[in-house]
Structure 1
Amino acid sequence: MERAARVAAQRQAREEQLRQNRLRQAQQDHARRLSEWQRRRDELAALHALAENLRGEETNVTDFRWGRHRAGERVLLVASVSLVEARTRQGVIFTEQTERGEMAVTDRRVLFDGAGKRREWAYDKWLSHEHQEGTGQTMMMVSNRQKSSGVAYSAAEAARVRLVIDLAVASSRGRRAEVVERTRRALSDHDRTRPAAPAGVG
């Protein structure tokens, strides 16, 4: 009887140890998933706040370094970028980063200022733009230029740069609310994916 009781107690202790190990692993996995979820939520919340509140800063002739200043023009974003231009070689169209410089997104246009080149993409001549996934590039097409061109930016800046361009273009067409709603919906959808705690985790 004593031996049987000992064996049963040992088995119970092993099972309890296994249960504790599984619980500890589940807690660690949950903490990792929750941390990743929270990091992404913070990013989405920041983008939504930017979409709601971005108004830019009015500049004067002295401060405006990206081209000819326009009275009342507001700068929404300044970022270090590369100019991207479309090239054709043996009938194949490709894009190439041709010069480093600085981009300003204003409430009237996107501007690039480099050591040797300047570009302007005005919203009143805007035809389309494309944020190219996996490349960190946005290509823009305007009616006063035959080929599309654009800017390349760092991965860390991508979400912010793309959102500000979307906001600026949409605002010029009276559709800013659509972009704000898109960011709100992205945040709301993400909130519904919060990782559930495993049993036994507070």
Structure 2
Amino acid sequence: MSVELNLRAVHAAHVEVIRTRWGAGSIISILLCFLMFVFLSTYSGLWFVLPVPFLVFAWRWFTARKESSLASVDAVPADPVAHAELLDHVRAASRKLGIAMPAVYVSRQPVLNAFATTDRQGGAVCLFQVTIDTLPDDELAAVVAHEVGHLKNRDSTYMVFFDAVRWSLTALIAVVGVIIVFSVAVLAMFGRSTRDTRAAIGISAWFAAVLTALGAGAAYVLVTAGQRSREFMADRLAAQIHPDPLALGRALRRMESGTRRWHVGELPASVAALCIVQPFVPGFLSSIVSSHPSLEHRIRRLERLVGAERAAASNAAAIAREWVQVRASLAAQVAYVLSARPTEIAEPVAFTPMRTEQIWATFPAKVVKPRTRQGRLSFVVADEGVAVLTTKRVVFSGPDGRTEWRWDKVYDHSWQSGVHGGDTVLIQVINRQKPSGLQFEMQYAERARLALELALVDSRGRREDLVAALDARLREHEQTRR
């Protein structure tokens, strides 16, 4: 009974595969052949070669099945008891990547490798028993995450498509080359057989051979480039969902060294292209003709990914700390503006307020004046004393006398950090051609700036505008944080 059910299930799977592949494969084949037909019928009249790429593409597309790959390595479903940890790894990786858990198979062939394949019925992950026995648990989980990442990206479908396109293009070029040789031979057969005609036949034959080789090589290079990019994508997914992103690199190194001890080269070509590790072509050719990136290149990418993630985490922590500081500062400013009122003088200073004038605050300060030398602006300390901020003006008192800025004559003020080792408020007055200003020590700078702004807006009856501006900045930082 179980055998009959299995046969029915396999038959249903094959029918569904044909239906699925027929839809996508026929559309792609028709479009490809239509373009070839337009080109060939317009420029050469060789419209009769149209069926060749169509048939080759259909053959490669429709004959690729998940069951074929699994059967070629004698894979059997994983045992729920003997392979419980493997099933747990697959289940966890599938949950993290948001896909249904694939079928899990195990092959007893002596190969240190793993692969994933998929079709309309769902995906399948196959690990060789040697891999399960050899890799530590964390590295095995990383390999499983890599293969489940392939299923997430539907990479086996892409590989089948690229392989079908490669074979169809190669067949088309080969047929065109044969037609060229045949045409020259027919012309020579019905014409005069001379040394020139024999040379033409030889040249056309060489040209056809070179054309076929170059076309097939170019198609192969393009296909393998696409396959290498899919490997990088699966590596990245595995590193993102595994607690130790570098575990995959260790597993790859261990498995690559194991290819020298196990018979990886004896795998079918269709399965070898799906495996996580493949015997590489030595030298720089491995980066051109191999379907997998080189081991060192993959490990370097993983290390760069880990470094970038750590840098991003560190940067995020620094931004979070800065955000907390900025938010606290803005909140304190809002509270100060809402509650601040003119108060008594905090520092002893000879100052007599005007009638209806109230004092906001006093701070140790320095008078600074601008100086331009060789086109560069700098500031020079002119006096040192105490600054008094009132509702009508700011008054500086020092050994060299008093300097006063009235709010009704101030048309602008700006805040500049880092002048003479401190922070400076520059107050530009209408009747002055150059700005002059006050410098405060760092411990007074923030409060002095806010008191200056508050005194200035209060003198113009615009305290609500300052409160609204601070509230807007606070909301902006809250939104940025989210």
Q: In the alignment, what sits opposite 1:51?
A: 337
Q: Is residue 152 from structure 1 mapped to residue 439 from structure 2 by the alignment?
A: yes
The match for 1:186 is: 473
What letter corresponds to residue 449 of structure 2 in structure 1? R
1:47-82: CA deviation from partner (whole Å, max 9, x where unpaired)? 1212222112156xxx87243233553322222211
User: Which range moved further: 82-91 or 68-77?
Assistant: 82-91
Q: Which amino acid aligns with 2:134?
A: V
Query: Cα distance, 1:190 vs. partner?
Result: 0.7
Deviation (angstroms), 1:44: 1.2
Deviations 1:20-60 (A, max 9, x none): 997x957665444322211111111111212222112156x
* Matched residue, 1:129: 412
Q: Offset of 1:170 from its aligned partner? A: 1.3
Structural mapping, 1:67-86, within 5 Å: 67-71=351-355, 73-86=357-370
Higher helix fraction (1 or 2):
2
In structure 2, relative to structure 1, the CA distance for the partners of 1:20 and 1:5 (3 Å cut) is closer
Distance 1:20 1:43, change over 3 A: farther
Q: Which residue of 2 aligns with 1:11?
A: 139
Greater alpha carbon shift after TM alignment, 108-117 vs 11-20: 11-20
Is 1:104 matched up with 2:388?
yes
Change (3 A) 1:36 1:70: same
Query: Is the CA contact (8 Å cut-off) linking 2:370 and 2:434 kept in structure 1?
Result: yes
- What secondary structure, in the 3-state scheme, does the structure 1 residue paired with 2:464 have? helix
Tell me if structure 2 keeps the 8 A contact 1:66–1:111: no
Cα 1:10–1:35 change in 2 (3 A) is: closer
What amino acid is aligned across from residue 4 of structure 1 in structure 2?
T
Give the partner amino acid of 1:127: V
What do the CA deviations read for 1:75-117 (whole angstroms, capped 9, x no partner)?
A: 2222221112355789998642111211111112111111222
Instruction: Structure 2: give runs of 5+ residues left out of the alignment.
Output: 1-107, 109-128, 143-238, 248-305
Distance 1:94 1:127 in 2: 22
The two structures have a TM-score, normalised by structure 1, of 0.73
TM-score by length of 2: 0.34
**Structure 1's 89 and 48: CA in aligned 2 closer, same or farther, altered over 3 A?**
same
- Seen in structure 2, the aligned counterparts of structure 1 residues 41 and 89 have a Cα distance that, compared at 3 Å, is closer
Which structure shows the higher strand fraction? 1
Aligned to 2:328: 42
Helix, strand or coil: the match of 1:103? strand
Aligned residues of 1:170 and 1:179 also touching (Cα < 8 A): yes
> Following the alignment from structure 2 to structure 1, what is the Cα–Cα distance between the partners of residues 313 and 375?
57
Residue 167 of structure 1 is matched in structure 2 by 454
Task: Tell me, in whole angstroms, the C-alpha distance in 1 between the residues paired with 2:351 and 2:374.
Answer: 34
* Counterpart position of 2:256: none
Quick check: 158-167 or 88-97, which moved more? 88-97
State the match for 1:139 in structure 2: 426
Report the aligned-residue RMSD.
3.5
- Please state if 1:176 is matched with 2:463: yes
Identity of aligned residues (%): 27
How far apart, CA to CA, are the structure 2 residues paired with 1:160 and 1:131?
A: 15
Q: Which deviates the most, 157-166 or 167-176? A: 157-166
Task: Pick which of 164-173 and 27-36 moved more.
Answer: 27-36
Q: Please give the alpha-carbon distance, in whole angstroms, between the structure 2 residues aligned to 1:10 and 1:64.
A: 71
Q: Which moved more, 1:140-149 or 1:160-169?
A: 140-149
List per-residue Cα deviations over 1:165-200 (Å, max 9, x = no partner).
122111111112111111111111111111x6xxxx
CA–CA distance in structure 2, aligned partners of residues 96 and 43 of structure 1:
30
Deviations 1:148-180 (A, max 9, x none): 422012345433322221221111111121111
Q: Which of structures 1 and 2 has the larger relative contact order (alpha carbons within 8 angstroms, sep 6+)?
A: 1
Larger of the two Rg values belongs to structure? 2
Task: Go from structure 1 to structure 2 and tell me whether the alpha carbon gap of 1:156 and 1:187 turns closer, same or farther (over 3 Å shift).
Answer: farther
Aligned partners of 1:51 and 1:183 also within 8 Å: no
Confirm or deny: 8 A CA contact 1:48 1:187 kept in the other structure.
Answer: no
